[in-house]
Structure 1
Amino acid sequence: MDRRQFIKLGGFITVSAVGLSACGGSSEAAGTDLALASGAWQFPQSVASGDPRADSIMLWTRALPASADAVAVAPSAADSAIRLVVTSADNSAALGANTALSGTLVADVRLPLQSQYDNTVRHKLTGLSAATTYYYQFIAGDTRSNVGRFKTAPAADADVAQLQFVYMTCQDWSVNHWGAMSSIAGESLDFIVHLGDYIYETVGEDFQTGAVESRHDTLVLPDGVYKSGTSGAKYANTLADYRYLYKKYRTDKRLQALHERFAFIAIWDDHEFTDDAWQDAETYDGSFNADGSDLHQPARRRNANQAWFEYMPADVTLDAANTTFQNIKIYRDFQFGKLMQLVMTDERLYRADHIIPESTINPATGKALGRIGARYLVQQSVFDSVEAQKMAGAKTIGLDPLTTATILGNTQRQWWMDKMKAATSTWKLWGNEVSLLRMGLNGTDAIATLLALSAATSLATSVATTAAAVGGNYALAGTIVAAVTAGATSAVAQAGAVAIATSAAGGGSSTAQATAGVAAGLSSAQAAIAVAVLAKVSAAATAGSTGTALAAVAAQTIAFGYIKPDVQTNGVNSTFVAASGKKDALSSFFTKFLLNCDQWDGYNTERKTLMSHLKSNNISNVVAITGDIHAFFAGTVNDDFDATGGGTPVMVDLVSAGVSSDSFFSYLRDAADSLGDIATLVSYPLAVPVTGIGTVNLNFNLLDYTMGKAAPTLASLAEQTRVQLRGALAALSVPEAQLDATTAAVLTALQANSDFNTSLLALAQQLSGLGNNQWLKHLNNDAQGYTLVTLTPSKMTAQFRQVNKLVGTSAPATIVARTTTATVTAGSAAVTIS
């Protein structure tokens, strides 16, 4: 063996070139000094490949004696060696089986198997041909692993007509199902990008206690630490804990199938260490040091780093000599011919603390803020002020101002900027863990909408009562109630209403009607809303509406035409806020909020710095592929979201929902339940009676509209709830063969439900009209799934594949529920949806 052809990296990575045998290990003993394993073995986590380049690949497996527990610590028996064989011959028929490889071998490598690394093997194979499909297999004793397959990247100077890949994220073992993986396995792909949350560090957390497929049993951490007290949820802490999670997750045959078929390009997010992590800090609510600061856990962070390194087939190194928690660098980039450069970033290991720390004391309660007010639902004015103070402080002591307000860290940020500037490929894709899109909320407009909605019921009653007193004339009754609501006395309201109605009956224009109302004693504002109500109710009556429906039309016109604008104009001082009896409870919401400051909204100035770099250097065709938030989003990333009109689009961000993790909608729904009326901005409870089955209780997703989804029609509103309704029917034991037909019938009936077609439709339309986040072109906050990308020189299409929900305790037979396509055309920082 020519040692110049072999390099030993990162403790236990071995490297060889095609056509040569390799040796090596983590110690001075070479791999060839270890005896080949004999007897019966197993590969309980199968095989995997990663980081495909034009001339190399990283290959992975874990081998155990046949009698060993698949997820326990590897037995500490004497180390041995196993073989790796590789061929370019077509062995596609052998995928998923341990049939011996056929064809001429291009590599036959002897590799060390060591218990100190939990019997995992990582081998980098070099000297490969570009744009070529290879098949590989490991052999331990008398046992062969399943056959694996990977495709190398095109040469850097190659003209590439098309690339196709999936990006995926957030695969929680403990909730919902992994059916999406079966669907992905059937795609024709060049590789897979995994954006993190490959594992979840907690077991038994509140968000992990929902329905889950029966093939996923309860996780049991070898050690684990209780999050609170001596019972309930635990989190991974030791190396054994983190290793266990990777081992257990990868016993799922569907995840194995993905790794067997496609090379992964993976990065981590937060749950590979701890929720909403920054550097080595834990951010669970209540877990602070005695001085109130976040709890730093460098040993736990190092354990998480090592387990990811051992189990992820990534071409990175772990520096054993580095005694800090930053002992690994996983940000890196990939070239796929002239078509694409893929830049993968690490947005956890180097980021500064959240701008407003969770340990910040709330002066109103004397207790730490925790998540709300620090990471989620953060007052934008407070955020802007604190970020400016932190940056000024850093500058004062001679640091880069972004040092205390960074998500990438100074070194990685400069690396990213250099990579983007130097890129010569048509497309620059960014593997980005947390969304770059502004997700804001104007609290004043939202409260105004909710108070208007709340008033609509009593207004409808008033209109109906008044109509009975004026001979059943709902148009006149609505006009009277409108004037009274706007502040007119009953007598003046009646006189004004009669004058307006008389003018209308005579063919008078709306201006003439208003003039008549003012002449009868109404103010111009009172006359304006009265005229509007008369027109709306008269039109509804002409269209065939009667009674209660006409009262509802009048009520909604008054509520959203007068009450809402009054609250928007006067804020907490509006008479309608006082009349609600909730002034104190609502007063803190009359401001602008950032919904999620764990993502790039929480590092706003750094985002602006990156966008300025792209803009000033004319760097085009930049698209972020993003995970983390458990929702599908598509939109533009602008140079300054706070500028008039939201700034200028610079790049595009396409966000994928999680494979199985509960949706962003479900998290906010649960959090908003404690906020009283504010909860209506997120969800609307709807009880749907189904003949022969019972009542289906839905929580209708209004978060999409609050955040900026286009106003719905009745049909699109019904379609939005299809997947949730299908899942609810499945939970009520409707057979899967009948689910689609039953769902369709219920949706048809639902559109005739007055609560749905009047109250809910009006509310969704009003929330959409708030105009929040106009750069968002697609939103689906209540989904699981993955994203399929097709990239050509002229365009990028991303198919958001939403999956159906559990059927009983199994993944659905029909996995993909709907596909929404986002298209980015080369040369344009814009995205279209179809």
Structure 2
Amino acid sequence: MDRRQFLKFSGFITVSVASTGLVGCGGSSSPAAANLPAATGAGWKFPQSVASGDPRPDSIMLWTRALPAGADSVAAAASGNDVSIRLVVTATDNASLLGSNAALAGALLVDEKLPLQAQFDNTVRHKVTGLTAGTTYFYQFVAGDVRSNVGRFKTAPAADADVSQLQFAYMTCQDWSINHWGAMSNMATENLDFIVHLGDYIYETVGETFQVGAVETRHDQLVLPDGAFKSGTSGAKYATTLADYRYLYKKYRTDSRLQALHERFAFIAIWDDHEFSDDCWQDAETYEGTFNADGSDLHQPARRRNANQAWFEYMPADVSLDTASTSFQNIKIYRDFQFGKLMQLVMTDERLYRADHVIPEAAINPATGVAVGSIGARYLVPQDVFNSVEAQKMAGGVQIGADPLSIVGMLGTTQRQWWMDKMKSATSTWKLWGNEVSLLRMGLNGVDAIATLLALGAVPTLASTIGSTAAAVGGNLPVAAAIVAASTAGATAAIAQAAAMAIAGAGSSAAAQGAAAVGAGLTTAQAGITVAAYNAAVAAAPAGAAAQAGSAAQVIAFGWIKADIQAHKADSVFVAASGKKAALAPFFTRFLVNCDQWDGYNSERKALMSHLKTNNISNVVALTGDIHAFFAGTVSDDFDAANGGTPVMVDLVTAGISSDSFFTYLKAAAAALGDISTLVTYPVAVPVPGVGTLNLDFDLLDYTMGKAAPTVDGLLDQLRVQLRGALAAKGLPEVQLDPTVAAVMAGLKASSAFSVNLLALAQQLASLGNNPWLKHVNTDAQGYTVVTLTPGKLTAQFKQANKLVGSNAPANVVARVTTATVTAGSAAVAIS
């Protein structure tokens, strides 16, 4: 903090130096507290407990909020009640007191009187300096006769220290209004040095569609003090005033599980979008239908400043805020941390300086004449359109002498250069990046996807036709399969039959069979698919007639129909025959799934990756949140280059603590897409004795995105968490859940609808080959990630949480653990 900022906030941010010896009771007082009466008596409380943040080798930022005992815990602090309270800090081990407000034992290194002022909502932010590197400390605030809960933090190791291991967790997306916060209880028991929070600490909306659903009873309905309706005069509201944003932090921090995390571990926090406004950029909101009259996004500088101030007041981050500034960029939160020779941690701000989405939400769709909105601007964006518009914007920037990347970038010119300098000058073994939105390319080839779906849809019809044709050729299924294959490939009925009979009489040599088919009048291509279908039916004969027909049908569907659609797109005869040509036509292109993340800021991403590659900067790993899913993969210098470019770093994405999953959001959006929705979800009816039929939505999005083709067991395991949650929602006691899940899964494995049909569908979607750099995909999850870092490797444990049990968090929180390992010196990630 520079001197000007310190003076500006001398009435709020206070600083003391830890003593190396015993400090007497009330040993010193900050200037702002000197003229304030001391809090006295037993009539005080600490409703949001305590917190620490930004651990450095010699300092920490400490936080609390104190109120008169009778005051509302989340209402605005009453004016005129300014007093001083005490802070005490010791290096004596008080771990046994965590979770309690018992008095700290041991010699005090800090005993400071601090101001408690209504103008800052009775929050206190105090920086302690002069601490010893790599040391665990305990602290406590005291108001009158009332003590806060005990807090603990650990300072960072000295910059030149040889550190053998660090262990920390990172988390994101903790929506109060949906699901549960049980994962926080589990995280509090981990052996951690600190916690990284990647944003969406609060959600600015109340009552949004994505917040309406099952939630634990201990989280009651949020009521904003002011709030603005998102649409009209009823329904969802969003925070707009300082009182609104303060309320959300206060309410969220009343949860004892979040308090326990803050009490036990220092946080290193950054924000994402919901601390201000969903998918925001700078001071602009992007809610549907809230454009200005000229079609531009609605800018709200006062609202942005309110959001900045509330974050500043409630997050124990060692940053500065200038409330006298009229700019919405009155705070700088990007910063870095050194943890010995082992790790440099760079935390970026990917909202306050980012340019508008390359294709604005207000852009007019020429096909409809109305604004594209989020679909087409931020989600499912045609890649060729994106590339063209981005290039045009950058060219325009060059013409006016501006930094072209600032027009299409996320970090802004100053922060981008800062990031590059930090990465280049880092001397630590590992360079970790606290990165809000994923760097991984998440694309979708619409042509291949539609071709696959239409081919899959044709399989049952083809199998039925093979069966009925067999009756006309004496029950000879291989011959029937060949006839149907030749006909599907465009041969006349007479030539198809002649070719099939010729193949049957040509022996077992595929070459001889092909020659016979061509001799009967088929083209070489027609002969190839006809011979393949014939031999598929022959090979499946031991399994029976149905298997023969089904096997041959799949050969025809994926060997001919899919290939024809891939070659001719909307002009394929099979697209016309589907009767859905008009509906499918817009999807015959490549899409970027999410342009609110780095895919929507591609040129800047390429510049950053080129910087790493050119300067031989290795061991760079991004710790990412935002997308409510677990992903792991490599980030290339240019995803559009041949074979996806050269990997230069790794991105490890954690799911949200409680926010509904990425799959859940896309499932809702896909419902309007007809057959295309199969790329995302597939209905599975699961009969459960004594419970009834569970109608589940199986997550196919994972395979469409690039998850490896599953086995039956892998398919079953993917359904396990959702199945457990569905049984819990039916009222099954938790003690019965896991045994019941095991029994139901055994029944599903024996079901051909699941283990044959759904398996084939998942395998076909996996074969699309979208995003081969994704090594782990789990789009339907909540949870957090624990990182263990040594000089030789980084190990990240993705910890997925079980779903609600009735209206409570599960007692057995962690459902599964998936491990991602990055070995030093290699831009690659292995999954186990």
Which residue identity is paired with 1:532? A
* From 89, 112, 115, the counterpart of 1:112: 115
Residues 8, 15 of structure 1: 8 Å contact kept: no
Report deviation, 1:513.
1.2
- Are residues 618 and 568 of structure 1, via their aligned partners in 2, closer, same or farther at CA, if it must alter by over 3 Å? same
5+ residue gaps, structure 2, are none
CA-CA distance at 1:489 after TM superposition:
1.7
Query: Which of 61, 65, 70 is the aligned partner of 2:68?
Result: 65
- Aligned residue for 2:678? 680
Residue of structure 1 in register with 2:327 after alignment: 324
Deviates more, 1:418-427 or 1:564-573: 564-573
1:352 counterpart residue number: 355
Residue 41 in 1 paired to residue 44 in 2?
yes
How far is 1:11 from its partner?
A: 5.7
Q: Which residue does 2:522 correspond to in 1?
A: 522
Where does residue 382 of structure 1 map in the other structure?
385
Matched with 1:533 is 533
CA RMSD in angstroms comes to: 1.4
Match of 2:666 among 662, 665, 668: 668
Amino acid at match of 1:462: T
Aligned-residue offset at 1:752: 2.1
Question: Is the aligned partner of 1:829 residue 2:827?
Answer: yes
**In structure 2, distance between residues paired with 1:827 and 1:353:** 36
**SS of alignment partner, residue 819 of structure 1:** strand
Q: CA deviation at 1:759?
A: 2.1
SS at match of 2:434: strand
1:175 counterpart SS class: coil
CA–CA separation in structure 2 for the residues paired with 1:83 and 1:299:
34
Partner of 1:199: helix, strand, or coil? coil
What is aligned with 1:819? 817
Q: What pairs with 1:149-188 in structure 2 (closer than 5 Å)? A: 149-188=152-191
2:757 is the alignment partner of 1:759: yes
Give the drift of 1:369: 0.6
Per the TM alignment, residue 476 of structure 1 is displaced from its structure 2 partner at its CA by: 2.4
Q: Please say if 1:314 is aligned against 2:347.
A: no
1:320 offset after TM fit, Å? 1.9
User: What is aligned with 1:193?
Assistant: 196
Counterparts of 1:320 and 1:276, CA distance in 2: 24
> Post-superposition shift, 1:305?
0.4
Find the counterpart in structure 2 of residue 783 from structure 1: 781
- Shift of residue 453, structure 1, vs aligned partner: 1.2
Identity, in percent, stands at 74
Amino acid at match of 1:332: R
Structure 2 CA distance for aligned equivalents of residues 500 and 296 of structure 1: 71
SS at structure 1 position matched to 2:125:
strand
State the secondary structure of the residue aligned to 2:92.
coil
In the TM superposition, residue 166 of structure 1 has moved relative to its aligned partner by 0.2
**Alignment partner of 1:299 is 2:299:** no
Matches within 5 A, 1:578-589: 578-589=576-587
- The 8 Å contact of residues 10 and 318 in structure 1, kept in 2 or not, is answered as no
TM-score by length of 1: 0.97
Query: Which of the residues 481, 485, 504 maps onto 1:482?
Result: 485
List per-residue Cα deviations over 1:426-450 (Å, max 9, x = no partner).
0000000000000001111011001
Once the 2 structures are TM-superposed, how far is the Cα of residue 22 of structure 1 from its aligned partner? 5.0
Instruction: Check conservation: 1:8, 1:14, Cα contact below 8 A.
Output: no
SS of residue in 2 equivalent to 1:254: helix
In the alignment, is the contact (CA less than 8 A) between 1:171 and 1:199 conserved in 2? Answer: yes
Aligned partners of 2:286 and 2:393: how far apart in 1?
20
Q: How far is 1:611 from its partner?
A: 0.5
Counterpart residue number, 1:369: 372
1:264 paired residue number = 267
Structure 1 Cα separation of the partners of residues 8 and 391 of structure 2: 46
Counterpart-to-counterpart distance in 2, 1:208 and 1:473 = 58
Match of 1:56 in 2: 59
1:509 aligns with 2:512: no
Judge conservation of contact 2:799–2:816 (CA < 8 Å) in 1.
Answer: yes
The separation in 1 between residues aligned to 2:661 and 2:603, in whole angstroms, is 28
Mapped to 1, the partners of 2:67 and 2:472 lie a distance apart of 86
SS in 1 for 2:380: strand
Q: Deviations over 1:697-723 (max 9, x none)?
A: 111111111111111111111111111
Paired with 1:743 and 1:829, the residues of 2 have a C-alpha distance of 38
In structure 2, how many angstroms separate the alpha carbons of the residues matched to 1:829 and 1:589? Answer: 33
| Offset at residue 10 of structure 1 (A) | 6.9
Q: Which moved more, 1:684-693 or 1:652-661?
A: 684-693
1:463-502 maps to which residues of 2 (within 5 A)?
A: 463-502=466-505
Cα shift readout 1:133-159 (whole Å, capped 9, x = no counterpart): 000000001110000000000000000
Higher mean C-alpha deviation, range 737-746 or range 780-789: 737-746
Contact 2:87 2:110 in 1 (8 A): yes
Distance, in Å, in 2 between the alignment partners of 1:477 and 1:734 is: 50
* Residue 248 of structure 2 is aligned to residue 250 of structure 1: no
Asked whether the 8 Å contact 1:7–1:16 carries over to 2, the reply is no
1:452: Cα distance to partner?
Answer: 0.6
> For residues 164 and 79 of structure 1, what CA distance do their matches in structure 2 show?
40
Counterpart-to-counterpart distance in 2, 1:78 and 1:180: 37
Counterpart of 1:37, as a letter, is: A
Q: Which residue of 1 aligns with 2:730?
A: 732
Task: Between 734-743 and 154-163, report the one with greater CA deviation.
Answer: 734-743
Pair 1:167–1:31, CA change in 2 (3 A): same
Question: Residues 236-270 of structure 1, C-alpha deviation per residue, up to 9 Å, x if partnerless?
Answer: 01111100100000100100000000000000000
Distance in 2, Cα, partners of 1:731 & 1:511: 58
Alignment partner, residue 214 of structure 1:
217
Instruction: Kindly state the Cα deviation for residue 285 of structure 1 after the two structures are TM-superposed.
Output: 0.7
Instruction: Tell me the CA shift for residue 567 of structure 1.
Output: 0.6
| Contact 2:541-2:547 within 8 A present in 1 as well | no
Q: Aligned-pair distance for 1:321?
A: 2.4
Alignment match of 2:706 (pick from 705, 708, 713): 708
User: Alignment partner of 2:374: what SS?
Assistant: coil
Matched position secondary structure for 1:52? strand
Tell me what 1:689 maps to: 687
CA distance in 1, matches of 2:528, 2:268: 61
CA distance in 1, matches of 2:667, 2:457: 19
Q: Within 2, Cα distance between the matches of 1:780 and 1:791? A: 23
Contact 2:178-2:659 within 8 A present in 1 as well = yes
SS at match of 1:372: helix
CA contact (8 A) 1:15 1:22 kept: no
SS in 2 for 1:361: coil
How is 1:588-667 mapped onto 2 (pairs within 5 angstroms)?
Answer: 588-667=586-665
Q: Which amino acid in structure 2 is aligned with residue 774 of structure 1?
A: P
Q: Is 1:283 matched up with 2:281?
A: no
Contact 1:51/1:57 (8 A) holds in 2: yes
Task: Give the TM-score of the pair, scaled to structure 2.
Answer: 0.97
* Paired amino acid for 2:60: I
Task: Give the C-alpha shift of residue 666 in structure 1.
Answer: 0.8
Within 2, Cα distance between the matches of 1:556 and 1:218? 52
